[in-house]
Amino acid sequence: MRILFELKIIEHFDSAHYLREYAGKCKNVHGHTWNIEVVVKGESLNELGLLIDFTELKKVVKGLIKPFDHQLINEIPPFDKINPTSENLARYFYYEIKKVLADRPKLAVSRVRVSESQSTAASYYEE
């Protein structure tokens, strides 16, 4: 049996977007308070008994979402080319967090979940 630890943090930012070629009301510019839920996993803890310090992981995520805060996401690469859907945002943040944590071989991104409202969310993960 493989034993894993998981750790989750949630951060948020406010921004606007619109969906290109969408047939509904989301084709118009509108705003959200986006919640980004990040789950990391690993098999071992450090000498303090931590997988990663919550503060350190929050700092990573805050640094990645800062360019999006109070902006029009459609103007920020790669979303100037691809639709800024919750699904695409989840995948984007997954890979960006993975890059930042690449120097920690015992720590992996498990899942990134992006919510644009209390009742809607999209997750990206790899098996």
- Residues catalogued as catalytic: 26, 70, 116
What is the spatial distance between Cα 92 and Cα 96, in angstroms, rounded to a whole number?
6
Supply 95's token pair.
């890979």
* Contact (Cβ atoms closer than 8 angstroms) between residue 36 and residue 11: yes
Q: Which candidate, 68, 69, 57, 76, places its Cα nearest to that of 5? A: 57
